[in-house]
């Protein structure tokens, strides 16, 4: 998990076998807060750290997809591969999104917000949209929460 400067600050472990009993599917380091930390694929991380890459030659700026939760982040981040027109993918968890992170997304980007169709997803969506309003073209895509 990364901070707004693009520094690796934490990890998030995922159970890859079917859980039995009361085993958590995802774990963070014990005793550490993940507030302000987010998940990012390599392209999104590069944009957060340095802005639009010098090698970007398309007339439209890159796109970023913002997902809710680790399972959706992993699903979307592994979907596109490494083609030149693949979007950057960010994953937000409770406390991840901040005005500082919003400020790292360059003006004019197309941002797709993929949150869940529930109360938490609506809150994420509204917060993200409010922080990018007027600077980015924001599209909303709601989905059902995944089990991960």
Calpha distance 17→2 (Å, rounded): 26
pLDDT of 36 reads: 87
Calpha distance 102→99 (Å, rounded): 5
Q: What are phi and psi of 124, to 5 degrees?
A: -55, -50
Residues 83-94 have a mean pLDDT of 86
Calpha distance 41→48 (Å, rounded): 11
Res. 29: pLDDT tops 70: no
Res. 84: pLDDT tops 60: yes
Residue ranges of the domains in the chain? 33-143
pTM of the model: 0.84
CATH code of the domain made up of 33-143: 3.40.1360
């Amino acid at each position: 998990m990364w901070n707004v400067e693009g520094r690796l600050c934490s990890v998030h472990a995922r159970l890859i076998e079917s859980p039995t009993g009361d085993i958590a599917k995802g774990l963070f380091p014990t005793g550490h807060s993940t507030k302000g930390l987010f998940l990012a694929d390599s392209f999104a991380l590069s944009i957060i750290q340095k802005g639009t890459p010098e090698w970007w030659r398309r007339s439209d700026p890159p796109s970023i997809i913002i997902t809710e939760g680790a399972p959706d982040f992993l699903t979307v981040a592994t979907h596109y591969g490494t083609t030149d027109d693949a979007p950057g993918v960010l994953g937000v968890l409770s406390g991840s999104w901040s005005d500082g992170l919003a400020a790292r997304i360059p003006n004019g980007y197309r941002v797709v917000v993929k949150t869940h169709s529930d109360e938490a997803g609506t809150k994420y969506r509204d917060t993200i949209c409010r922080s990018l309003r007027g600077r980015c073209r924001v599209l909303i895509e709601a989905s059902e929460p995944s089990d991960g």
